[in-house]
Amino acid sequence: MGETDIQAEKPDLTAPGDDAPVDLDAEFQDSHIQEILDKLDRELVGLKPVKTRIREIAALLLIDRLRRKFELVSETPTLHMCFTGNPGTGKTTVAMRMGEILKRLGYVREGHLVTVTRDDLVGQYIGHTAPKTKEVIKKAMGGVLFIDEAYYLYKPENERDYGAESIEILLQVMENNRDDLVVILAGYKDKMDRFFQSNPGMRSRVAHHIDFPDYSPGELMDIGELMLEEQKYQFSKAGAEAFREYISLRVTLEHFANARSIRNALDRARLRQANRLFAKRGSPLKKADLMTIESEDIRASRVFVEGRLDAKLNEAPEQP
Ligand SMILES: Nc1ncnc2c1ncn2[C@@H]1O[C@H](COP(=O)(O)OP(=O)(O)OP(=O)(O)O)[C@@H](O)[C@H]1O
Ligand SMILES: [Mg+2]
Residue nearest to atom 28 of ligand 1 (CA): 260
Average pLDDT for residues 251-273, to the nearest whole number?
96
Rounded distance from Cα 127 to ligand 1 centre (Å): 36
285 φ, ψ to 5°?
A: -110, 145
pLDDT at 6: 44
| Beta strand segments in 79-214, E | 81-85, 113-116, 144-148, 182-187, 208-212
| 4 pLDDT higher than 50 | no
pTM, 2 dp: 0.85
pLDDT at 319: 54
Which range, of 9-13, 68-72, 180-184, 285-289, averages the lowest pLDDT? 9-13
Beta bridge partners of 114: 145
The ligand whose atoms approach the alpha carbon of 230 most closely is 1
- SS3 sequence, 122-135? CCCCCCCHHHHHHH
Rounded distance from Cα 25 to ligand 1 centre (Å): 32
Q: Which atom of ligand 1 is nearest to the CA of 223?
A: 4
Q: Return the best residue to mutate from 54, 82, 83, 89 for the ligand 1 pocket (most ligand atoms within 8 A of CB).
A: 89
Average pLDDT for residues 102-120, to the nearest whole number?
92
Give the closest residue to 167 by CA, choosing from 183, 187, 179. 183
pLDDT at 132: 96
Summarize pLDDT for 193-238 with one digit per residue, the tens.
999 999 999 999 999 999 999 999 999 999 999 999 999 999 999 9
Summarize pLDDT for 116-170 with one digit per residue, the tens.
999 999 998 899 999 999 999 999 999 999 999 999 998 877 777 899 999 999 9
Q: Which atom of ligand 1 is nearest to the CA of 187?
A: 25
Q: Which atom of ligand 1 is nearest to the CA of 86?
A: 25
Three-class SS of residue 215? Answer: coil
pLDDT at 317: 60
Rounded distance from Cα 246 to ligand 2 centre (Å): 23
Query: What DSSP element (H or E) covers 262?
Result: helix 258-279
